Amino acid sequence: MKKYLFLIVLLCGALLLQAENYPYRSDYLWLTQPDHADWIYKTGEKAKVEVGFYIYGVPQDIEVAYEIAPDMMPATAKGKVKLKNGRAVINIGTMKKAGFLDLRLTATKGDRKFQHHVKVGFSPEQLKPYTKNPADFDSFWKANIEEARKTPVGVSCKRVEEYSTDEFDCYLLKLKTDKQHSIYGYLTKPKKEGRYPVVLCPPGAGIKTIKEPMRNTYYARNGFIRLEMEIHGLNPEMTAEQFKEITSAFDRENGYLTNGLDNRDNYYMKHVYVACVRAIDYLTSLPEWDGRNAFVQGGSQGGALALITAALDTRVTACVANHPALSDMAGYLDNRAGGYPHFHRLNAMLTPEKVKTLEYYDVVNFARRITCPVFLTWGFNDNTCPPTTSYIVWNLITSPKDSLITPINEHWTTFETNYTQMLWLKEHCK
């Protein structure tokens, strides 16, 4: 993985003249440094974290309150420490079982509170899923995909002038994916005549428009045909107010993730997973497809859907995923972190019926079945898709795999990381 880190360094180096010490332009800065450089320890090994707090770059000799907790769980220890020259060392202890400890920090200055946290791992390579692997998993998905394919992929397409350039064209598509459902997407493809790899990019969670269609056009500039899709059959040209109204109809943000969860055949996400396969059907039917390379790429819910598509469709030749959601979602029943959307936080959500349904939709059971190369990226400080569940997914993948672990990252990646993933796909073209 060193070569990918090196590429990132090169990309960042081009921006050095514009770089700042405080990239987020904050008046205050936390610095947290575990005494293991990779933030990883063996179970039973004690961890220490040096904590620093600065305002305008000046070290602050103030009191910091802290909590220590397993990943996403209630605190098991609390304390306070006085910073000297803006620094102090906190002994956060150890874990007897594989997992992550979260050091949660609060500094008070006047009437303001400043919060931060840092997670360290203990033998995370030993983490295993709570979610069971159903015996009829493969036959369930085979039957649903075959049923959907009884409906031809219907396509409506219009060129979008504002997202097209002299290098590539952009089209707004509507794809019929089964007899009931459709999806929309923006397709970008190089103008130059030729045959190209295809990339499917499923979305992160939410009922929302396709964000900034021009932000990933470096794929087209590098010789890829790319489809950025949504999953709800909602035209991305709708207004923000219209999307807000539809979101409200589900009673809560991302409420579609609970829709029909009592029954595997009625769960909302069934048509979403099938739609991703039908999108590959469409992309591999394009006359401009090179006939060899079909990729999937996404982050969060999109990372989950990328991994799921790679497992369901053997035409997928490589997969890139950031901090995948929908991973070991019932893990909280094992008294540890589970994956987004954190059903345990919803009243009586993890019932036996719902847990059984989740077995057919959880990323962990798709990860077991992936055969193509995978590039997985995740951070330790992520409270949306916690590192516990990302490691579980990573541990289950047996196909060729690369990782880029960015401990400090929360639920985000940088442009440099995303660009490096495109380069990784380019290297994996046949």
**Do residues 283 and 228 make contact, with C-beta atoms less than 8 angstroms apart?**
no
Measured between alpha carbons, how far is 120 from 65 in angstroms, rounded to an integer? 18
Q: How many domains does the chain fold into?
A: 2
DSSP helix/strand/coil, 56:
coil
348, 352, 354, 359: CA torsion to nearest 10? 140
179 and 69 share one domain: no
Domain membership flag for residue 8: no
Domain membership flag for residue 3: no
Please report the pLDDT score of residue 300 as a whole number. 98
Sign, Cα dihedral of 143, 149, 151, 155: positive
Domain membership flag for residue 32: yes
Active-site residue, 265 included: no
105 and 154 share one domain: no
Q: Which of 182, 300, 327, 390 is catalytic?
A: 300
The last residue of a domain, from among 123, 155, 179: 123
The last residue of a domain, from among 95, 123, 151: 123
159 and 183 share one domain: yes
Please report the pLDDT score of residue 246 as a whole number. 85
193 and 325 share one domain: yes
175 and 107 share one domain: no
**Do residues 359 and 347 make contact, with C-beta atoms less than 8 angstroms apart?**
no
279 closest CA partner among 182, 208, 205, 418: 182
Measured between alpha carbons, how far is 16 from 10 in angstroms, rounded to an integer? 10
Low-confidence ranges of the chain (pLDDT < 50): 1-19
Please report the pLDDT score of residue 12 as a whole number. 41
Contacts of 229 (CB under 8 A, 6+ apart): 183, 184, 185, 200, 201, 202, 203, 210, 275, 276, 279
Domain membership flag for residue 166: yes
Contacts of 372 (CB under 8 A, 6+ apart): 310, 316, 317, 318, 319, 399
The last residue of a domain, from among 65, 94, 123: 123
201 and 273 share one domain: yes
The enclosing domain of 200 has a CATH number of 3.40.50.1820
28 and 119 share one domain: yes
Domain membership flag for residue 349: yes
Domain membership flag for residue 176: yes
**Which token pair is 357?**
């349904």
**Which token pair is 325?**
């959601």
Q: Which of 271, 342, 411, 428 is catalytic?
A: 411
274, 276, 281, 283: CA torsion to nearest 10? 170
Neighbours of 286 (CB within 10 A): 15
110 and 144 share one domain: no
Q: Which residues pair with 21 in a beta bridge?
A: none
170 and 311 share one domain: yes
Query: Before 203, cis peptide (omega within 30)?
Result: no
142 and 118 share one domain: no
The enclosing domain of 100 has a CATH number of 2.60.40.1930
Q: Give me the domain span that covers residue 92.
A: 17-123
Domain membership flag for residue 288: yes
Please report the pLDDT score of residue 22 as a whole number. 63
Active-site residue, 382 included: yes
Active-site residue, 300 included: yes
275 and 405 share one domain: yes
Q: Which of 71, 181, 382, 428 is catalytic?
A: 382
**Do residues 152 and 175 make contact, with C-beta atoms less than 8 angstroms apart?**
no
Measured between alpha carbons, how far is 333 from 417 in angstroms, rounded to an integer? 34
Domain membership flag for residue 5: no
164 and 82 share one domain: no
Please report the pLDDT score of residue 251 as a whole number. 64
